[in-house]
Chains A and B, each alone.
Chain A
Amino acid sequence: QQQVKQSPQSLIVQKGGIPIINCAYENTAFDYFPWYQQFPGKGPALLIAIRPDVSEKKEGRFTISFNKSAKQFSLHIMDSQPGDSATYFCAASIGETSGSRLTFGEGTQLTVNP
């Protein structure tokens, strides 16, 4: 019940395309859903996060869509660039305080071709 399922495992798009990465969770107690971006040789870095009281959150070219009833959320990257090529992880936790811990999805390796 603590799992977060992420798909696809890998994704290749052309520059300007809109890659979409999907995640699904089971634990209805989860109430904080961040996305992390990881470049080779680096640690994951927070990209954008959402709470379940909103259905969409947008920050720059990155948008999270959240469907509470379906227990699914997704990341959309508008006007994707080669520099967006990285591994993306969705995650979930109960609370976002320092008492919480993240359960990560399996990761999606995104390649944006020029």
Chain B
Amino acid sequence: DSGVTQTPKHLITATGQRVTLRCSPRSGDLSVYWYQQSLDQGLQFLIQYYNGEERAKGNILERFSAQQFPDLHSELNLSSLELGDSALYFCASSVGVSPLHFGNGTRLTVT
């Protein structure tokens, strides 16, 4: 168990809808990262937060947004969903020089 908790495990929704994915990092980890894993794109970095502040942005669509709260949990908001957004979304956390610890992901299916 990595200590990173992601909810929900599965999410099925329709095109055009909005969903929120939640991540609780390992205790003490200040950085949270979001990655998208799809069959054709592999693991793609979306965004990183450090202690509540956005630190780095990757291939994140404008329809997607994230935030990290004072208790360090993070949420990834996906709106105006399209079929192509169906993927596994992983959250990872770290602190200092520790390696990234990944949660078990949220599988999003857009129908």
Given contacts A89-B43, A98-B94, contact A43 B105 (CB under 8 A): yes
In the complex, chain B residues whose CB is within 8 Å of the CB of A99: 31, 50, 55-56
Closest to A49 in B: B99
Closest to B99 in A: A46
Q: Which of A41, A43, A49 contacts B102 (CB 8 A)?
A: A43
Closest to A97 in B: B97
Smallest beta-carbon distance A32→chain B, Å: 9
Question: Are B2 and A43 interface neighbours, CB within 8 A?
Answer: yes
B108 interface residue (CB < 8 Å to A): no
Interface string of A77-114 (1 = CB under 8 A from B): 00000000000010000001111011111110000000
B16 interface residue (CB < 8 Å to A): no
Interface size grouping (class) on chain B: 20 to 34
Question: Are A101 and B99 interface neighbours, CB within 8 A?
Answer: no
In the complex, chain A residues whose CB is within 8 Å of the CB of B92: 43
Question: Are B99 and A44 interface neighbours, CB within 8 A?
Answer: no
Given A44-B102, A89-B43, A96-B97, 19 additional A-B pairs, CB 8 A: A34-B99, A41-B104, A43-B4, A43-B103, A45-B2, A45-B101, A46-B99, A46-B100, A89-B42, A97-B96, A98-B29, A98-B30, A99-B50, A101-B56, A101-B58, A102-B45, A104-B42, A105-B42, A106-B42
Where chain A touches its partner, the secondary structure class is: loop
A42 interface residue (CB < 8 Å to B): yes
Interface string of B1-25 (1 = CB under 8 A from A): 0101000000000000000000000
- Of A98, A104, A105, A106, chain B has the most CB atoms within 10 Å of the CB of A98
In the complex, chain A residues whose CB is within 8 Å of the CB of B101: 45-46
In the complex, chain B residues whose CB is within 8 Å of the CB of A97: 96-97
